[in-house]
Every structure is written in structure tokens, then in C-alpha cells.
Amino acid sequence: MYFKFKPILKQTLWGGERIIPFKHLDSQLDHVGESWEISGVEGSESIVAEGEKAGKCLGQLVDEMRDKLVGRDNYQRFGNEFPLLIKLIDAKRDLSIQVHPDDDVARRHGKDHGKTEMWYLMDSDPDARLRCGLSRQITPEEYKQHVADDTICDVVAEYSVKAGDCFFLPAGRIHSIGAGCFLTEIQQTSDTTYRIYDFKRRDKNGQLRPLHTHEAAESIDYRVESDYQTHYEPLQNEPVELVRCPQFTVTRYDLTEPMTIDYSDLDSFVIFICTEGEGRLTIDGDTIDIHAGDTLLLPATTQQATAEGTLQLLETYV
């Protein structure tokens, strides 16, 4: 058993033109910045695209299947809320400098959850860059001054990026996706973002987008690290763990030969995101063709999955 969902396409001020052809969609939308692949966010819930559950939203699936879908511990922890949000992001222009709160700060501001996330870069522009983490120590007051005088970018670390690069962004880490980046984002189910700086851009109505300077100051983790990139050794036909944190675990598979993955001892759903190539997945006897741009949800009852073909997969679970 597996579930495939209809993508939720989001047109944005900074969006590009990569997502629709990458996913082989019949759509004339332009400036698509995001495809929400799997979402339980209220107002943007994923709808099952095919099979006997077609037309049902993700929340209904969780309510009907409960621990059989998400796992016993996850159902006790999250109830009927699906815990992860999976996106594809295509930035034709820089996104704003922003930060996400942790759970405690989010709740103080009336939100259910904070947002810890990760990025995995796909086929991006040769000059693609992004910002992640503070480059030097600053105080909350210095932060506010940098925002006021348009110099906040001077204290945020910047990286040139390419396909396969990975960044982990715990809640509180200041960041910005730069022009030319095409990536997969895996995150807690939350749409809470505090915008710090937006390059004085105006929206389609000619208005400056609002900033959240106070909320961001309360959310930022002001600790400085020497390197914010997640480094790993890329291996073929072996699992390579990229991130393990309380919110999710993400593993990369770069396959040129068949591989069977045993899930009999895992008490969680599993999500596969195909970032490159094509092949087939056999999930407890059910076989489906898969290619770059596909995202599948496997229920917690899954015993094993076999992948065949030449493809790259991200596997994530809680």
C-alpha cells in the first residue's frame, strides 16, 4: 500500500518555472515557487490522487487509519495531525531573510508548533547561493540595528551550492534560499515564518511585505557555528543518513542496482521523494513506477520496499 497526492502549487513573488516540468504536470501556472507534496497544514491539505482513497484529504487518512498510517508512538504524540510537511522549492529570486520559532516560542505567539527543517539541493543554477546561520556573534539589539540599516545580510553566512548539498535548519537558525536554488524541503508541519528582511521588495499591489522584527528577535538562536552545511560521503547503493533529529530522520539512496529496505521494526510512516532518475518501487507486493518529482507516502504497516532503477531517493520518517 502507498499513497500519492495531488501537488499543491504555490505561486510566489520569487517563484520560477522548474517545478511544473520537473513533475511533468499539465499546468500553465507561472512563478510557481513551491509544490507542497505532502501537507496536513489547515487550508492546504493534500488530497489523495489515485487508488481507493482518491479524493480523501491527508487528515481523513490519519483519522481513519491512525497508528496504521503514522505509527503507534507518532499517533500518541501528534494525534490526527500529520507531523511533516514536504515541499519542492524553486527560487528564481532571493527569498526573504527569515527565521522559524521553536515550539515554545511558537506557542507563546498562539501557534501550535515551531519549525525545524532541512534542505536538499537538486539541479540548481551554477551560481546558486543560499544563506544559513549567523557568520559572527551579534546581540539582539545589534540584530535590530542591522535590520534597520539594511545590513543584516552582512552577518549571515553565505554558501555557493550544487545538487546534493544538504543543510539542517533547527528552529531559530536565520536563513534565506537564494536565487537559482532548486531544492527539497522537509519540515515540521507548520507555516510559521518570521520575515526579517525582504530587500525592500514590493508585492503585486506595490506594497512592502510586512516584517516580523520583534517575533524574529525572540526566535533567533544567536549562537555562531563555523560551518552550517551538513557534510556527508555520497555512496552508491548504500543508505547514507543525512539528518537525525527529534522531528525527522532523512536518508539518501543513490541507486544503480536493486535494493530492499526492511521496515518491519519501524513504528512510523515512510516518505520517499525521488530527486533524480527513474525506476520502480515494490511495496509489500504493490509495484509503482517512480521518477524524479514523485513523492510517495508509505503507511506504518509497511514491511519492506524494493527500489529498482537508476534513481536518487530521499527517505524520511519520524
Among 184, 207, 230, where does a domain finish? 230
Query: Which CATH number characterizes residue 285's domain?
Result: 2.60.120.10
Mark whether 302 and 206 lie in a shared domain.
Answer: no
pLDDT at 10 over 90: yes
| pLDDT band at residue 149 under the 50/70/90 scheme | very high
- Helices (H) and strands (E) counted in the chain, each on its own, are 7, 22
Range of the domain at 289: 240-317
pTM summary value:
0.95
Residues contacting 155, CB < 8 A, separation 6+: 134, 135, 136, 138, 143, 146
Encode pLDDT of 153-193 as tens digits. Answer: 999 999 999 999 999 999 999 999 999 999 999 999 998 89
Statement to judge: residues 99 and 169 lie in one domain: yes
305: cell is 520496499
* Cα dihedral 292, 293, 299, 300 sign: positive
Identity of the residue numbered 131? R
pLDDT digits (tens, 9 = 90+) for 93-145: 999 999 999 989 988 888 888 999 999 999 999 999 999 999 999 999 999 99
Residues 21 and 139 in one domain: yes
Q: Is residue 27 part of a domain?
A: yes
* Residue range 27-66, pLDDT digits in tens: 999 999 999 999 999 999 999 999 999 999 999 999 999 9
